[in-house]
Amino acid sequence: MTTTPYEVAVRAEAELGEGPTWDAAAGRLLWIDILGCRVHTYDPVTGRRTVRRTEQHVGAVKPRAGGGLVLNLRDGIGLLDPDGTFRWLHHEPVPGRRANDAAVAPDGALWAGTMRYDEAPGGGTLSRVTGDGTVGLVLDDVAVSNGTGWSPDGRLLYYIDSPTRRVDVFDYADGRASGRRTLAEIEDGAGFPDGLTVDADGCVWVALWQGSAVRRYTPEGRLDRVIELPVPLVTACAFGGAGLSDLYITTARTGLTEPAALAGSVFVVPEAGKGLAQPAFAG
């Protein structure tokens, strides 16, 4: 097991930085501040950054196949057209509940998670949303729906419900998940698993909330690499850059009485590995 150095990609003070996603068509990183109601972009070549404010808490943002963005918002799934026009694809407000992490499946569907603000067990869900707005409930007994990703061959789905302290794996076929089992467990004192990404070797990289680190697990569930960071609330990770070799890592500062100077920033580990090209949302 090796420890890997990092760099600061974007110095920021995001309250709850989350959801890094490489937008290959635009050559930029997308990321969000959930509680700050902001969608950020970052171009690592030019250094250009943009910020767009959302009208409510935003759990995830992903590129759309035809241009624009899909947003996992507090009250449902929204679409931003390339000209900036917003519209709802699926509107389903639930008092006390908000959106959280999401991922796009190999078939272009959005797997969108939710959670209650009080993180009550069973208060969250994981749903599959197709491009035409059809919603199918996948899991209805979730506390904090988080990291979701697929193996390189698309036959396995990895998933995290953070309070379980597990990274779970399902068999995946035809838009359905089955055979849930445990890939890895996070030991007491090491934090809680949050966002994840899968690399071209099928290894699963897991951000550790309250754990100051990102870990990589092999397809067999063996821990073989650790990236230690100078902030406790590490939220998510994703490969980006022209060669998908740089690992971007988001962090948070919410609830910290004396946050470190870099809490809420985006970190990067250059040449960390080889990521997988991510499909765009089909809507």
Positions marked active-site: 194
Give dist(CA 157, CA 107) in Å, integer: 13
HEC profile of 138-199: EEEEECEEEEEEECCCCCEEEEEEHHHCEEEEEEEECCEEEEEEEEEECCCCCCEEEEEEEE
E strand or H helix at 84: none
Burial class of residue 11 in the structure, from the number of CB atoms within 10 Å of its CB (0-12 exposed, 13-18 middle, 19+ buried): exposed
Q: Which residues of 166-201 are buried (b: 16+ CB within 10 A; e: fewer)?
A: bbbbbebeeeebeeeeebbebeeebbbbbbbbbbee
User: CA-CA distance, 18 to 143, in Å (whole number)?
Assistant: 18
Those residues with Cβ within 8 angstroms of residue 174's Cβ, 6 or more apart along the chain or in another chain: none
Cα 2 to its chain centre, rounded Å, is: 24
Measured from the Cβ of residue 64, the count of other Cβ atoms closer than 10 Å reads 21
In angstroms, how far is the first alpha carbon of the chain from the final one?
A: 41
Residues 6+ apart with CB under 8 A from 8: 262, 265, 266, 267, 268
